[in-house]
Amino acid sequence: MAVAASSVNGDDAFDPVSTWVGWKRYIDSAPAVPGADDSGWSLEERLDYHSQFVVVTTPAMERVKRELQTALLVNRRQRGTARRGLIVSGPPSTGKTTTLMELGRIFELADRRKHSGVEDRLPVAFVSVPPASTPRMLVSEFARFLGLPVLQRMNQAAITDVVCATLCELRTQLVLVDDIHLLDTRTRAGAETSDQIKHLGERIPATFVYAGVDVHDSPLLVGPRGQQLAGRFKLLRNDPLPYSTAAQRHTWEELIGSLESALRLRNHRPGALAEQALYLHSRTAGVIGSLSHLIREAAVTTVLDGTESITKALLHSIELDIRAEQQVLAPGPAVTRQRTAKRTKTKS
Ligand SMILES: Nc1ncnc2c1ncn2[C@@H]1O[C@H](COP(=O)(O)OP(=O)(O)OP(=O)(O)O)[C@@H](O)[C@H]1O
Ligand SMILES: [Mg+2]
């Protein structure tokens, strides 16, 4: 499984990826090279590295990537309503946003190679649906991404015109819209915002990819508007990784192996994490967000205490997010109790 990205970046300025500056910063951040010589890294750099860590390719990510390549080709000569899109749907923390960002990065880097030296291009746009969004708020998010001023006197139509004109001028071909579950098409504002997205999809010659929490089960696809959306978008599930069949266990073990090989810990025995694949699955229920947190917290802890090796005891002492802790069934509440007791002892 490929290790795709991440970087040691000393610059602390924060620009969300839903702004052009933040998006460019994300695309331009130097990827971590697996096997790179880290002997000269300072403590701070080692902590930064494990805090940011790497993005590994999951099966869901691979599928979304394949589907997107096909959708882009199918849409290439299509206009307006005939273009098809994708919706990435799954429970919280399963890597939906990360998948969108990685897709965007791959697409943008390929576009840069194809059009090297051409400045005025913006192949990818990334926005997040704001909570309780109205159509004006949504299109203003696009304007914010593009760095376009939204003046008080501009109405929704005027902002839409300038956003569409700019995206067309910059040859944007991929539009990523995150947190689409925040649109409730049963409310008036939600329904109108959904219409606004559809309108943008007709005016911008791009392929749209949405991501959201359990969209397959949400009001977004209900009612006439929802049905319209359902008629144009393919739904791709981004579920926690299962661990039942031999193939599923192999995939999970490969994922752990990829994360483990990206660690930069001086005394860590290679394979020690992979041996804990079953334990790691029982702790995280196959949710990549919980897994990533567990490994990163363990890594940072060992860098700080100087042991520089991740053991099962260390993993066991780390408390995870509420969802992960609540789902731990085997060996039952004793796991939590032991962990809590251990933490209290350490603190005192
Ligand atoms: N492929 C991956 N490789 C390594 N870490 C990952 C990967 N995917 C997600 N993560 C990590 O898991 C955490 C959650 O990921 P992300 O925010 O993408 O999930 P999400 O499904 O969008 O969550 P939410 O539903 O809360 O929006 C992040 O810390 C991210 O770095
Ligand atoms: Mg997300």
**pLDDT, tens digit, 9 for 90 and up, residues 281-334:** 999 999 999 999 999 999 999 999 999 999 999 999 999 888 888 887 545 444
Ligand 1 site-directed mutation target among 53, 98, 105, 273, most atoms within 8 Å of CB: 98
**H-type alpha helices, 170-275:** 188-203, 223-230, 246-261
The mean predicted confidence, pLDDT, of the chain is 87
Q: Which of the listed residues 182, 214, 237 is the one where a domain comes to its end?
A: 237
What is the tens place of the pLDDT at every residue in 10-61? 455 678 899 989 999 999 886 566 566 788 889 999 999 999 899 999 999 9
The answer to whether residue 220 scores a pLDDT higher than 80 is yes
Q: How confident is the model over 64-87, as a mean pLDDT?
A: 89
> Is residue 160 one of the residues assigned to a domain?
yes
Are both 134 and 283 inside the same structural domain?
no
What share of the chain in percent tops pLDDT 90? Answer: 64
What is residue 308's three-state secondary structure? coil
Q: How far apart are CA 250 and CA 10, in angstroms?
A: 36
Are both 118 and 212 inside the same structural domain?
yes
Are both 133 and 246 inside the same structural domain?
no
pTM for this entry:
0.89
**Do 317 and 343 touch, CB atoms closer than 8 A?**
yes
For ligand 2, the distance from its centroid to the CA atom of residue 97, given in whole angstroms, is: 4
Structure tokens at 24: 């460019």
Q: What are the pocket residues of ligand 1 if the criterion is a CB atom closer than 6 Å to any ligand atom?
A: 55-56, 58, 61, 92-98, 213, 288-289, 292
Ligand 1 site-directed mutation target among 17, 18, 26, 93, most atoms within 8 Å of CB: 93
Are both 226 and 267 inside the same structural domain?
no
Are both 273 and 194 inside the same structural domain?
no
For ligand 2, the distance from its centroid to the CA atom of residue 180, given in whole angstroms, is: 10
Pick left, alpha or beta for residue 125 (phi over 0 → left; psi -120 to 50 → alpha; otherwise beta).
beta
Are both 22 and 160 inside the same structural domain?
no
Are both 98 and 204 inside the same structural domain?
yes
Q: How far apart are CA 264 and CA 34, in angstroms?
A: 9
> Is residue 157 one of the residues assigned to a domain?
yes
Cα dihedral sign, 323-328-332-336: negative
Supply the CATH number for residue 72's domain: 3.40.50.300
For residue 243, give every residue at least 6 positions away whose Cβ sits within 8 Å of its Cβ, in sequence order, or none: 249, 252, 277, 278, 281, 286
Q: How far apart are CA 178 and CA 131, in angstroms?
A: 12
What is the tens place of the pLDDT at every residue in 52-72? 899 999 999 999 999 999 999
Are both 268 and 134 inside the same structural domain?
no
In the chain, how many domains are there? 2
For ligand 2, the distance from its centroid to the CA atom of residue 211, given in whole angstroms, is: 7
- Provide the residues around ligand 2 (an ion) whose CB is within 5 A: 96-97
Question: Number of helices and strands (H, E) in the chain?
Answer: 14, 7
pLDDT band for position 2 (50/70/90)?
A: very low
Q: How far apart are CA 174 and CA 328, in angstroms?
A: 39
> Is residue 89 one of the residues assigned to a domain?
yes
Q: How confident is the model over 215-230, as a mean pLDDT?
A: 83
10 Å CB burial of residue 17 (0-12, 13-18, 19+) is buried
10 Å CB burial of residue 347 (0-12, 13-18, 19+) is exposed
**H-type alpha helices, 204-333:** 223-230, 246-261, 277-284, 288-305, 312-317, 322-327
> Is residue 339 one of the residues assigned to a domain?
yes
pLDDT computed for residue 302 by the predictor: 96
Owning domain of residue 176: 59-237
The answer to whether residue 347 scores a pLDDT higher than 60 is no
For ligand 1, the distance from its centroid to the CA atom of residue 153, given in whole angstroms, is: 38
Nearest CA to ligand 1 atom 30: 289
The answer to whether residue 73 scores a pLDDT higher than 70 is yes
> Is residue 281 one of the residues assigned to a domain?
yes
pLDDT computed for residue 160 by the predictor: 95
Q: Which of the listed residues 182, 206, 237 is the one where a domain comes to its end?
A: 237
Query: Of 222, 225, 221, which is closest to residue 212 (Cα–Cα)?
Result: 221
pLDDT computed for residue 305 by the predictor: 94
Are both 218 and 253 inside the same structural domain?
no
Q: How many Å separate Cα 292 from the centre of its chain?
A: 12
CA-to-CA separations, 142 to 64, 87, 92, 156, 177, in angstroms, rounded: 23, 19, 24, 12, 10
Q: Atom of ligand 1 at shortest distance to CA of 92?
A: 25
Ligand 1 site-directed mutation target among 292, 295, 320, 321, most atoms within 8 Å of CB: 292
The answer to whether residue 341 scores a pLDDT higher than 80 is no
Are both 232 and 108 inside the same structural domain?
yes
Are both 213 and 190 inside the same structural domain?
yes
Structure tokens at 126: 């990334």
For the chain, give the number of residues: 348
Task: Identify the nearest ligand to the CA of 239 by its number.
Answer: 1
pLDDT band for position 159 (50/70/90)?
A: very high
Q: Which of the listed residues 181, 202, 237 is the one where a domain comes to its end?
A: 237
**H-type alpha helices, 76-131:** 96-114
Q: How far apart are CA 315 and CA 274, in angstroms?
A: 13
Q: How confident is the model over 204-229, as a mean pLDDT?
A: 88
Are both 214 and 89 inside the same structural domain?
yes
